[in-house]
């Protein structure tokens, strides 16, 4: 079990550029979550995948954000036309879910990708 991995760990970009982050969940985990965390705050939910299907999106996920999980394995989060307000830590988590709305299973987080938009 190698844990959840995220790449890159750090990204510096200029305002207006597009960026893409990758998350590799723990193998066999069918659920994948993206969160965003700004300095001094707890993580905030962005979106959720069950296998390859994106089943829930937060209102925080503006039109400039898009996430995919082709084939139900790794996931990518893309931000288009980045803004300085997008600067944050982007966290990915995965879990095994056996029922649609279980609240018991543990989510395992990756180390995050820290984005700085200049």
Partner 1 sequence: DAKTTQPNSMESNEEEPVHLPCNHSTISGTDYIHWYRQLPSQGPEYVIHGLTSNVNNRMASLAIAEDRKSSTLILHRATLRDAAVYYCTSRSGTSYGKLTFGQGTILTVHP
Which residues are near partner 1 by CB under 8 A? 4, 31, 33, 35, 40-45, 48, 50, 55-56, 91, 93, 95, 97, 100-112, 114
Q: How far is the CB of 67 from partner 1 (least distance, A)?
A: 14
State both tokens at 91. 């966290």
Which of 98, 112, 102 is CA-nearest to residue 35?
112
Q: How far is the CB of 91 from partner 1 (least distance, A)?
A: 5
Our CB check for partner 1 shows the closer of 19 and 92 to be: 92
Our CB check for partner 1 shows the closer of 7 and 80 to be: 7
User: How many CB atoms lie under 10 A from the CB of residue 112?
Assistant: 21
To which residue do tokens 């993580």 refer? 43
Helix (H, G, I), strand (E, B) or coil at 31: strand
């Amino acid at each position: 079990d190698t844990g959840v991995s995220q790449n890159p760990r750090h990204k510096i970009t200029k305002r207006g550029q597009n960026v893409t982050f990758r998350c590799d969940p723990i193998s066999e985990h069918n659920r994948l979550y993206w969160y965003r965390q700004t300095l001094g705050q707890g993580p905030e939910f962005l979106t959720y995948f069950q296998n390859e299907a994106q089943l829930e999106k937060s209102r925080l996920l503006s039109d400039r954000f898009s996430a995919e999980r082709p084939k139900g394995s790794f996931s990518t989060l893309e931000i288009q036309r980045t803004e300085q307000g997008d600067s944050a830590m982007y966290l990915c988590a995965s879990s095994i879910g056996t029922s649609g709305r279980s609240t018991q299973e543990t989510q395992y987080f990756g180390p995050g990708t820290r984005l700085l938009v200049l």
